[in-house]
Amino acid sequence: MTQKAIPLPQLTGFSERNGCWYAEEVSLVDLAKEFGTPLYVYSKKALTQAYQAYDKACIGPGGKRRARVHYAMKANSNLAVIDCLKKLGAGFDLVSGGELSRALAIGADPKSLVFAGVGKSATEIAQALQVGVKCINVESIAELHQINRVATKLNCRAPISLRVNPDVDAQTHPYISTGLKGNKFGIAYHEVLKTYREAALLPQIDVVGIDCHIGSQITSTAPYLDALDKVLELVAQLKKEGIEIHHLDLGGGLGISYGDDSPPDITEFTNTLLDRVAERGFGHLDVVLEPGRSLVGNAGVLLTQVEYLKPGAEKNFCIVDAAMTELMRPALYEAYHAIVPVQTKAIPKTTYDIVGPVCESGDWLGRDRQMAVEEGDLLAIMSAGAYGFVMASNYNTRPKPAEIMVDGNKAFVIRAREKIQDLFSSETILPE
């Protein structure tokens, strides 16, 4: 098998100079020496630039703000990452009480928080209402009634939007498609108006918005426009019925380039959606965007060291110290991540499957990659800033790796490497 001729994604925070890879001004070799591997490395500059591109596009003609970015922290919820984004002006999209606690830990304004998710518990709903989030995105009639009950107990109002399932094909991996009628997410399109009428009658509920999210790693604008048109039809109908909403949440999902994907440019994408909202006469509504991956995906790499090179009967294996436990995406979605040797070597290339030490044949990080590597070399797994560390596990009693944020020529530990003892320190054996 030969290596697929896939180009590297365009990166702003990582670059190769004289055969050596850098995060901003810091060499990845130095980072591995100082902090060990496997190691997540993020670039503050890449994160900042991605955010600023969205934010700039959110400002319309005449300097009027047309939309606001609520970063979907499920993509990467490290406190340093979310704190940087908060300081740049981002609000947040949350999906659990845990994420809400993270937002509060960095002092995020509760009014900059929207709370989504298909199965929020009564405890999570109470936590969200008590801190006073901007909105709870409701995904079923049953949840709507649960929110009303919790708000009654707490004697408070519950600001809600209904998440519409528009039945639009986002043309992405089936596991990360969310807007088809067969998906568990959102309220079926034909039930939405009825549910709003019901919501408007519930004593503790304030209808404030409408929302929609059709999937992730979407590389064309067309499915967004289809979903948006369907949502705007509902907004027009609601208006006729006297149910006024104040904001429109268009979800996240914009893809990034992992290599040969060509997602729309963030600015063009945002402008296209916001222009459509204005053309349809809803320019007065506040618009919420919930990007995750497109803010952080290409702002991070996973550094790993080659342990062994193992020629096999059918394949050659390059066994590295990172695994599906650090980066689950290849095992779970057969996702492609570019993998580069951190230092170029003048030795012949061999085709390898890059695999981890975990006891699963599904534990692979890259397949059929042509590479000039030797044992002890470092590899950088690119585009690992989103859905990387956050999906890491302790399977095989493997401690989670450290995370580093580089800012110019400085590197900061933003999460210490886990210690093995900590992994079982809360476990107890039965008494004799």
Active-site positions read 359
Type of residue found at 280: R
Instruction: Confirm or reject binding of residue 209 to ligand LLP (CB under 6 A).
Output: no
Rounded to whole angstroms, the Cα distance separating 29 from 401 reads: 16
- What is the nearest approach in angstroms of ligand LLP to the Cβ of residue 388? 8
Instruction: Confirm or reject binding of residue 285 to ligand LLP (CB under 6 A).
Output: no
CA distances from 159 to 61, 115, 206, 291, 346 (A): 30, 11, 5, 22, 62
Shorter beta-carbon distance to ligand LLP: residue 269 or 282: 269
Token pair in block for residue 145: 């009634």
Instruction: Confirm or reject binding of residue 93 to ligand LLP (CB under 6 A).
Output: yes
- Work out the number of other CB atoms within 10 angstroms of the CB of residue 54: 23
When binding is defined by CB under 6 A, the residue of 291, 330, 341, 366 that contacts ligand LLP is 291
Instruction: Confirm or reject binding of residue 140 to ligand LLP (CB under 6 A).
Output: no
Q: Which residues touch 334 (CB under 8 Å, ≥6 apart)?
A: none
Pairing of strands 378-381, 300-311: antiparallel
DSSP state string for 278-336: HHTT-TTSEEEE--SHHHHGGGEEEEEEEEEEEE-SS-EEEEES--TTT--HHHHH---
Residue 50, phi then psi, degrees to nearest 5: -65, -40
When binding is defined by CB under 6 A, the residue of 290, 321, 326, 363 that contacts ligand LLP is 290
When binding is defined by CB under 6 A, the residue of 176, 243, 414, 423 that contacts ligand LLP is 176
When binding is defined by CB under 6 A, the residue of 127, 216, 270, 298 that contacts ligand LLP is 216
Residue list 244-273, contact with ligand LLP (CB under 6 A):
251-254
- Spatial contact of 137 and 158, defined as CB atoms under 8 Å apart: no
Token pair in block for residue 320: 């590295």
Residues in the interface with ligand LLP (CB under 6 A) total 22
Instruction: Confirm or reject binding of residue 227 to ligand LLP (CB under 6 A).
Output: no
Shorter beta-carbon distance to ligand LLP: residue 247 or 293: 293
Instruction: Confirm or reject binding of residue 224 to ligand LLP (CB under 6 A).
Output: no
Residue 137, phi then psi, degrees to nearest 5: -90, 120
Q: Which residue is nearest to ligand LLP (CB)?
A: 292
Instruction: Confirm or reject binding of residue 300 to ligand LLP (CB under 6 A).
Output: no
- What is the nearest approach in angstroms of ligand LLP to the Cβ of residue 173? 7
Which residues bind to ligand LLP, rule: CB under 6 A? 72, 75, 93, 116, 176, 178, 213, 216-217, 251-254, 290-294, 329, 333, 386-387
